[in-house]
Amino acid sequence: MPNLPFQAPLSEIASHIQPFRVMKILGEAKALQSQGRDIIHMEIGEPDFPSLECVHQAAFEAAQLGLTHYTPSLGLPALRQKLSQFYQTFYQANVSAEQIMLTPGSSSALQLVLTAIVNPGDNVLLTDPTYPCNRQFVNLLYGQLVNVPSDADSNYQLNLALLKQHWQPDIKVVLVASPANPTGTVIEQAELMSMARFLAERNAFLIVDEIYQGLVYDRPAESILANHPRPDNIIVINSFSKFFGMTGWRLGWCVAPKILMPILDRLAQNLFLAAPTPAQYGAMAVLEPNALAQLELRRAVFAERRDVLFNSMQAAGFKLKVMPQGAFYLYWDVSEWTQDSEQFCQDLLNKTGVAITPGTDFGEQEGHHYVRLAYTTDSEQLIEAVNRIADFIKTIKD
């Protein structure tokens, strides 16, 4: 056989998957840092705090006891039970353990749930801007995206009026996040429930991504599951990544109608077998009252940072359209200075060492003139970042 060069026969769909640009900025910021540059990281969407000591302890103890094997695909029964109790205690929500499934990050929960629902060609409605991976999950299933532009007038969120306006009979599922990434905005429960009922009447699912649940400021944490009665078309996605500060442990969960559970179970058995076992033992500890009290203190730190960032931006003369109600992001319209948010972020990083994320990751329609700032660094750094941004803007103006 002649020694022919290998021409990798790759799938077509893989070539259509868009990069998550924040990872590129993060890589570049880290490269500059390793050259000795002073970098302020406001690009990546994860808490800067390490996971709690009790998590490490619980995972370590489980490992020492030899509990390092696969768990059932739906997750450790004790953890599913504990989450059911968590909903009862904190949200007065009746959620049976049988409806809860643990997954490797909520990313896998989103993929599983969409795989269980979406046929090639089915319509999936998302808001624009949105968490970007959602679009790629739909693309992987050959689903069709219905992007609904949202702006400051609707708190950058979907609402019943927008849903009605963009409704098409072949929409099978609508996916929202509250609080949302990249805007930190919240959908009120009454609005969510009216959308859930509208969709139930049309035989469509509502997926509510509650991954930033717990990270809300000036208002109590909420879950759509606390509403009674509620229609059977609601699926909730959640994670130990954000409020619980366990991004690297890769553990999330979903709460789905009973009818979906055997399908989700079968999919999980094939796709990843089970969520990581040490992470599940660690999560048992993070749901204990003393751990939750520590996380509450961290929430207060995020609340303070939000105020520091928002107020410093305003003091620098920057217009902000909405005060984020949760998560740890500020979505900022930079159209006064650019229509190319990627170049803006690139130049800002190179010239000032402040790493932020271009809106093109999140918004197909207007992302080119938005950027996302993550307040996942301390207040002092946030103030310094705003000063550097203000200096940078002056160089554009001059």
Ligand X SMILES: Cc1ncc(COP(=O)(O)O)c(C=O)c1O
Binding site for ligand X (CB under 6 A): 45, 105-107, 131, 177, 181, 209, 211, 239, 241, 247, 252
The amino acid present at 118, given as its one-letter code, is: V
Q: What is the nearest approach in angstroms of ligand X to the Cβ of residue 101? A: 13
Dist CA 205 CA 197 (whole Å) = 10
Dist CA 175 CA 195 (whole Å) = 11
By C-beta, is 283 or 386 nearer to ligand X? 283
Distances (CA, A) of 138 to 117, 146, 158, 262: 11, 11, 18, 21
By C-beta, is 106 or 280 nearer to ligand X? 106
By C-beta, is 104 or 353 nearer to ligand X? 104
Q: What is the DSSP string of 42-84?
A: --S-S-SSPPPHHHHHHHHHHHHTT--SPPPTT--HHHHHHHH
Q: What is the nearest approach in angstroms of ligand X to the Cβ of residue 7? A: 34
By C-beta, is 99 or 106 nearer to ligand X? 106
Q: What is the nearest approach in angstroms of ligand X to the Cβ of residue 166? A: 20
The amino acid present at 120, given as its one-letter code, is: P
Name residue, tokens 């690009």.
Answer: 43
Q: What is the nearest approach in angstroms of ligand X to the Cβ of residue 22? A: 9
Dist CA 244 CA 55 (whole Å) = 10
Q: What is the nearest approach in angstroms of ligand X to the Cβ of residue 221? A: 15
Q: What is the nearest approach in angstroms of ligand X to the Cβ of residue 156? A: 13
Max CA distance (Å), the chain = 71
For residue 252 the two structure tokens come to 């999330």
Dist CA 71 CA 254 (whole Å) = 16
Q: What is the nearest approach in angstroms of ligand X to the Cβ of residue 279? A: 11
By beta carbon distance, the residue nearest ligand X is 105
- C-alpha atoms less than 13 angstroms from C-alpha of 56 in its C-beta half-sphere: 4
Contact 105, 241 (CB under 8 A): yes
By C-beta, is 125 or 211 nearer to ligand X? 211
For residue 137 the two structure tokens come to 């999950």
By C-beta, is 107 or 185 nearer to ligand X? 107
By C-beta, is 141 or 393 nearer to ligand X? 141
